Amino acid sequence: MPDIVRNGVTIDDNFAEAFPMSGTGILITAPNAKWARQAALTMTGFATSVIGCGCEAGIDCEVSPQETPDGRPGVRVLLFAMSSKDAEKQLVNRLGQCVLTCPGSAVYSTVAGEFEIKVGDAVRQFGDKWQMSKVIDGRRYWRVPVMDGEFFCEGKVGLTKKSVGGGNLLIMGADWDKTMRATEAAVSALDSVADAIAPFPGGIVRSGSKVGSQYKGMSASTNDAYCPTLRGVTKSALDEDIGCVLEIVIDGLTDNAVREAMRAGLRAIIEMGPEQGAKRVGAGNYGGKLGPFHYHLKELLP
Amino acid sequence: MKPFTFTLRQEPPQRVDLSPLTPDRLAGKSVAQIENIELGETRISTKVGDLFKIAEGDLKNLRYEGGSSRFDLVGAKLLPGFAIHVEGDVGAQCGRLAKGGTIAVAGGAGPHAASGNLGADIEINGDAGDFLAGPLAGELAGMAGGRIVVRGKAGERAGDRLRRGIVVIEGDAGEDLGARVIAGTIFCLGEARGRIGYLNKRGSIVLARGGCFGSTYVDCGAHELTFARLFARRLRNHSAQAADLLSRRLRRYGGDTAVYGKGEILTPD
């Protein structure tokens, strides 16, 4: 099938295959943006892939004081896991270790999901019976006394099972610098899409994986078809002009959020063109039989 | 659509129980049937038709043109989604055990307003009687949800045994405000007297004017509380004065240490 070329960038006639996930999230506020961001960064650390981290989490957006419930600067964090139980466990652990501990922080529900999971209702016990509950407009909040004042936390937060994880773009370029330039542009473009995150470091993963391994018991291993140094010795997907491949993985609260994030990323790469950035864009899938969500690149073109 | 309106013909000859007149209990009834509802609390009959002229309208929205301090149990067991407006006074137990909805009273209210309220949003434009949001005799808890805002003064023992919810008194409060509070939040923007927060377990009492709260309340210092910021924002549409009060730096007195000591009195620093 002929590949599509836009602004000199070749777009593979391929699709990204994605899976249903349980998505939740919190809005963290603090006395200033620095500490709201710090709490969010700490909480979303070691949350790149469900395989080893238990969840995938990232910062969706910063929220201005005018839009937060308590009028302080905020950061919206999204967290995805393979089951609602995992999501709850990860969220409660990360909240207790990373947000409760972060000076000045407060936590509010930010995901309108069909389920609710206990968050403040679990962390409250840190208060050793000095915690106080306040019900405001039908929502329960907890005031937990801590050394810098009070940790204020909503009792329950929303969770949706309609989330999607695994949207992706494979960005291929002549060398590391050019590929990175295009990939960074794509990440910053999809950052502005609401309800979607790119959980890997800076939104980018360089060690894309395939299913299976030559070793027993390893479920995933390096995607040798896309390793430029193996171009000659393996059944490579790369032509001679490709020297570096980077991937962006996208999780979203909705099918549409993932689609829009991929669309925004693709547009940024195409606008940059092959001289400055990437020569080719592809997408990863498993043949289309494993994941119910398929995002065809040709349908996302600008 | 116009509200379903009861226009008062005359001052009731006796105390009347208006609890049958809530939207859910009137649904499906004809005007003739409604006029035949017995309201009297004695052996002498007083029916709806004797007291009110009825103008049909949107049943979700009841309106009394004219009130009386003999109107007991207005909006009792009101359900969410419904509204009652009284252009006048109401008697005892306004909004008693209401599950939701809104009740607005242009005049004053008698004793036990919002008693046992579970979720209704009640506004009394005038003064309220004793035991605002309090329990009836023998009950273990008073108001357990919702919100009541009194623009005028409140009588004695306001917020007695409050279990949950918000009580705002924009004027003065009588003796023993917030006595025996279990939890919940009480505001008094005027003067409060007597044993404020007596045996308060874990409720918050926010007072515009400080004072001495007795030896069982312990000064915990002045703080910026995050919860107060959220609370103030959510309260602004209902009582701007209470919201302003909460937006200030607040001194926290922990107590009543004669019981759990997990409650608090907050006053501006």
pLDDT digits (tens, 9 = 90+) for A10-26: 999 999 999 999 999 99
Task: Based on the fold, state whether residues A216 and A144 are members of the same structural domain.
Answer: no
Put simply, the answer to whether A152 touches B230 (Cβ < 8 Å) is: yes
pLDDT in tens, A211-257: 889 999 888 899 999 999 999 999 999 999 999 999 999 999 999 99
Q: Does the ipTM exceed 0.85?
A: yes
How large a percentage of chain A has pLDDT more than 70? 99
Put simply, the answer to whether B229 touches A70 (Cβ < 8 Å) is: yes
DSSP state of A61: E
Task: Based on the fold, state whether residues A149 and A172 are members of the same structural domain.
Answer: no
User: Do A249 and A198 touch, CB atoms closer than 8 A?
Assistant: yes
Put simply, the answer to whether A129 touches B262 (Cβ < 8 Å) is: yes
Domain span at residue A61 reads 22-160
Q: Does A132 touch chain B (CB under 8 A)?
A: yes
Put simply, the answer to whether A149 touches B225 (Cβ < 8 Å) is: yes
Put simply, the answer to whether B227 touches A150 (Cβ < 8 Å) is: yes
Residue A1 has pLDDT above 60, yes or no: no
Q: Does A139 touch chain B (CB under 8 A)?
A: no
Q: Which of A100, A128, A160 is a domain's end point? A: A160
For testing contact with chain B, the best of A99, A135, A139, A146 (most B CBs within 10 A): A135
Q: Does A145 touch chain B (CB under 8 A)?
A: no
Task: Based on the fold, state whether residues A88 and A142 are members of the same structural domain.
Answer: yes
Query: In CATH, what number is assigned to the domain containing residue A138?
Result: 3.30.70.520
Q: Does A136 touch chain B (CB under 8 A)?
A: yes
Q: Which pLDDT value is given to residue A2? A: 63
Total tally of structural domains belonging to chain A = 2
Q: Which pLDDT value is given to residue A57? A: 97
Helix (H, G, I), strand (E, B) or coil at A297: helix
> What mean pLDDT value characterizes chain A?
94
Half-sphere exposure of A29 (CA within 13 A, CB side): 25
pLDDT in tens, A138-194: 899 999 999 999 999 999 999 999 999 999 999 999 999 999 999 999 999 999 999
> B170 CA to chain A: closest CA distance, Å?
19
Give the Cα separation of B168 and B185 in Å (integer).
8
Put simply, the answer to whether A136 touches B230 (Cβ < 8 Å) is: yes
Residues of A with Cβ-Cβ distance to B145 under 8 angstroms: 135
Q: Which pLDDT value is given to residue B100? A: 95
pLDDT in tens, B20-57: 999 999 999 999 999 999 999 999 999 999 999 999 99
Task: Based on the fold, state whether residues A124 and A222 are members of the same structural domain.
Answer: no
Helix (H, G, I), strand (E, B) or coil at A95: helix
Residue A266 has pLDDT above 60, yes or no: yes
Residues of B with Cβ-Cβ distance to A150 under 8 angstroms: 223, 225-227
Task: Based on the fold, state whether residues A167 and A154 are members of the same structural domain.
Answer: no
Q: Which of A106, A136, A138 sits opposite B226 (nearest CB)?
A: A106
Task: Based on the fold, state whether residues A51 and A78 are members of the same structural domain.
Answer: yes
CA distance between the termini of chain B: 48
Put simply, the answer to whether B234 touches A137 (Cβ < 8 Å) is: yes
Q: Does B203 touch chain A (CB under 8 A)?
A: no
Cα–Cα distances (Å) from B36 to A166, B32, B45, B266, in that order, read 67, 6, 10, 51
For testing contact with chain A, the best of B223, B230, B238 (most A CBs within 10 A): B230
Q: Which residue of B has its CA nearest to A131?
A: B262
> B66 CA to chain A: closest CA distance, Å?
31
Residue A131 has pLDDT above 70, yes or no: yes
Q: Does A240 touch chain B (CB under 8 A)?
A: no
Residue A86 has pLDDT above 80, yes or no: yes
Task: Based on the fold, state whether residues A212 and A275 are members of the same structural domain.
Answer: yes
Q: Does A124 touch chain B (CB under 8 A)?
A: no
> B68 CA to chain A: closest CA distance, Å?
31
- Identify the segments of chain B with pLDDT beneath 50: none
Q: Does A290 touch chain B (CB under 8 A)?
A: no
Put simply, the answer to whether A69 touches B119 (Cβ < 8 Å) is: no
Task: Based on the fold, state whether residues A12 and A26 are members of the same structural domain.
Answer: no
Give the Cα separation of A45 and A54 in Å (integer).
12
Task: Based on the fold, state whether residues A102 and A125 are members of the same structural domain.
Answer: yes
Choose between A195 and A218: higher pLDDT.
A195
Domain ranges for chain B: 64-268
Q: Does A143 touch chain B (CB under 8 A)?
A: yes
User: Do A153 and A94 touch, CB atoms closer than 8 A?
Assistant: no
DSSP state of B40: B
Task: Based on the fold, state whether residues A46 and A114 are members of the same structural domain.
Answer: yes
Phi, psi of A201 (to 5 degrees): -55, 120
Phi, psi of B264 (to 5 degrees): -160, 150
Q: Does A134 touch chain B (CB under 8 A)?
A: yes
Put simply, the answer to whether B226 touches A150 (Cβ < 8 Å) is: yes
Give the Cα separation of B212 and B3 in Å (integer).
48
Q: Does A71 touch chain B (CB under 8 A)?
A: yes
What is the pTM for the complete model shown? 0.92
Residue A62 has pLDDT above 60, yes or no: yes
DSSP state of A191: H
> A98 CA to chain B: closest CA distance, Å?
19
Residues of A with Cβ-Cβ distance to B204 under 8 angstroms: 132, 134
Neighbours of B43 (CB within 10 A): 6
Residues of A with Cβ-Cβ distance to B230 under 8 angstroms: 69-70, 136, 141, 152
Task: Based on the fold, state whether residues A236 and A291 are members of the same structural domain.
Answer: yes
Put simply, the answer to whether B223 touches A149 (Cβ < 8 Å) is: yes
Name the β-bridge partners of B144.
B164
Q: Which pLDDT value is given to residue B260? A: 87
Task: Based on the fold, state whether residues A285 and A272 are members of the same structural domain.
Answer: yes
Q: Does A133 touch chain B (CB under 8 A)?
A: yes
Tally of helices (H runs) and strands (E runs) in chain B: 5, 17
Residue that is written with structure tokens 């004042």 in the block: A149
